[in-house]
Amino acid sequence: MNSPVLHLKQAGRLDRLFIDGEWTAPAGTAHAAVVCPSTEDTLCEIPLGDARDVDRAVQAARKAFVRWSVTSPKERAALLDRVHALIIERAELFAQALTMEMGAPINYARGAHVPLAAEHIRVARDNLASYPFRVQRGTTAVVREPIGVCALITPWNWPIYQITAKVGPALAAGCTVVLKPSELSALSALLFAEVIADAGIPAGVFNLVSGTGPEVGAALASHPQVDMVSITGSTRAGVLVAQAAAPTVKRVAQELGGKSPNIVLPDADLPRAVSLGVAAAFRNMGQSCSAPTRMIVPRSIAAEVETLAVAATEQMIVGNPFAEATTHGPLANRAQFGRVQRMIEAGIDEGTKLIVGGTGRPVGFSKGFYARPTIFSDVRTDMTIAQEEIFGPVLAILPYYTVEEAIAIANDTVYGLGAHIQGKDRERMHAVAARIQSGQVHLNYPAWDPQAPFGGYKQSGNGREYGIEGMEEYMEVKSILGYYA
């Protein structure tokens, strides 16, 4: 198999944007390097679009919306089915791209990144097939219609997964889209644009403009013919998009930062609770907005928790992401590597108890953005590492005396994206879950559910992705009074 870079280069797509069904040169000459995080070598350069490219893409999407918005659900579902099939067919190419561009271990890319991304398309297709776009309520018809042209801004940490989480339901709803993927992980986005084209999605329904947030992201958010923006990114980026969108009063859906708690109740199966908690916190090398990076444990068993947590960390294999045995690769980029190092230093400087890991690269690595899986214990809730999103393999263990205190610690953050609770008493777990201020609560590490709405309270954002609610984000509600079915 050709490498993703060679594949895209040979196809003439590596230096192109995808607008109105065509692979087209950007208006400007700016480029960005795509860097392999495991070697720090430049893989290739990709073009950066600007406001002129954004306007072309928006105009194409606006024109295509006239036809796409009135296609039948059956027609849209058939096209989404084709998109799903092509992602599965090209899964290895996507996996290779993810390992190259953001360092996901190849088996994790194959087993999580790509198949879960495909699931978002399948769920959008299935929900579309049975969704009631018109509901009779007395003599009023309540109708849901596509909102229009949607700007989709996606991050580098789960590149294809976040793309499909937005594109799938937006197209299912009858919207047309302009995608701005992260310029740091553009290879998988270009491969997805190929899938869209090969699946037969009509010209203009899907457009891709690579570029930076200050240039392309801002142009999309402020464009008067964009009806909605959906962004996944940092809270800071979400605020900037909302500010840019405000003058045109468009809808803004935001999936932003997190500092998710993991409450270990006194009756929890401790070995399972701790080992799976460490694994969840460090999945994708900790680069997940909903990762449970605050483990809240009974003070009386904190020492046992520490022992179990260290043992779980020692089972991880940090290494070359192309090696089959590797469980954890490098961080995705240089800037993130630097941030993680600074946050570990902050934990040490604030006097927390470092029980494993620390600053610097793991033994045996002199280059690459590799970080040491790090756990701090006896952390107070007012400390930097308990409050700020780190986005790396850093876990804080916070002790509590009572369950009431555990709930207070869990809610003591500006974020509210995800939460976990471990225990055996289901009634008590349900009672605790009801008091946690977050968009999702996971009880005893359940399986991932692509139909479960995902989104945040507080500064973790607004709106929901996944499932029925994710599709409804891309719709307007119209009431037709005096309508008799």
Domains and CATH numbers, the chain: 4-256+461-480 (3.40.605.10), 261-449 (3.40.309.10)
Structure tokens at 402: 């009572």
pLDDT at 350 over 70: yes
pLDDT at 70 over 80: yes
Q: Which of 457, 420, 468, 462 is nearest to 441 (CA)?
A: 420
* 319-326 long-range contacts, CB within 8 A, separation 24+: 320/38, 321/38, 321/99, 321/103, 321/104, 321/105, 321/106, 322/38, 322/99, 322/106, 323/105, 323/106, 324/106, 324/107, 326/105, 326/106, 326/107
Q: What is the DSSP string of 281-329?
A: HHGGGG--TT---EEEEEGGGHHHHHHHHHHHHHT--B--TTSTT-SB-
Q: In what order do the strands lie in the sheet with 394-400?
A: 353-356, 374-377, 394-400, 294-298, 261-264, 420-422, 442-443
Structure tokens at 440: 């999702």
From the candidates 289, 389, 465, 473, which is the catalytic residue?
289
pLDDT at 173: 98
Q: How far is CA 315 from CA 319, 328, 468, in A?
A: 13, 11, 38
For 314-328, the pLDDT digits (tens) are: 999 999 999 999 999
For 209-236, the pLDDT digits (tens) are: 999 999 999 999 999 999 999 999 999 9
Residue 324 appears among annotated catalytic residues? no
Q: Say if CB 68 and CB 202 are below 8 A apart.
A: yes
Q: Say if CB 148 and CB 122 are below 8 A apart.
A: no
- Average pLDDT of 261-268? 98
Q: Say if CB 362 and CB 370 are below 8 A apart.
A: yes
For 45-56, the pLDDT digits (tens) are: 999 999 999 999
CA 292, 270, 451, 433 dihedral sign is negative
Q: What is the DSSP string of 159-174?
A: HHHHHHHHHHHHHHHT
Q: Say if CB 110 and CB 99 are below 8 A apart.
A: no
pLDDT at 87 over 90: yes
What are the beta bridge partners of residue 18?
23, 208
For 356-396, the pLDDT digits (tens) are: 999 999 999 999 999 999 999 999 999 999 999 999 999 99
Cα separation of 133 and 127, whole Å? 11
Tell me phi and psi for residue 180, to 5 degrees.
-115, 95
User: pTM value?
Assistant: 0.97
From the candidates 255, 465, 472, 473, which is the catalytic residue?
255
- Average pLDDT of 464-473? 98
Task: Tell the burial category of 114 from Cβ atoms under 10 Å away from its Cβ (0-12, 13-18, 19+).
Answer: buried
Residue 255 appears among annotated catalytic residues? yes
- Average pLDDT of 269-287? 98
pLDDT at 385: 98
pLDDT at 1: 60
pLDDT at 484: 81
pLDDT at 253 over 70: yes
- Residue type for position 102: M
**Integer-rounded Cα radius of gyration of the chain:** 23
Strand, helix or coil at 478? strand
pLDDT at 485 over 90: no
Terminal CA-CA length for the chain: 56
Structure tokens at 312: 């779980």
- Residue type for position 483: Y
- Average pLDDT of 66-75? 98
pLDDT at 243 over 80: yes
pLDDT at 238 over 80: yes
- Average pLDDT of 267-276? 98
Summarize the chain as % helix, strand, coil (round to 5): 45, 20, 35
Cα separation of 376 and 357, whole Å? 9
pLDDT at 280: 98
Q: Say if CB 60 and CB 204 are below 8 A apart.
A: yes
For 1-37, the pLDDT digits (tens) are: 679 999 999 999 999 999 999 999 999 999 999 999 9
Mean predicted lDDT score pLDDT of the chain: 97
Q: What number of other Cβ atoms are within 10 A of residue 408's Cβ?
A: 14
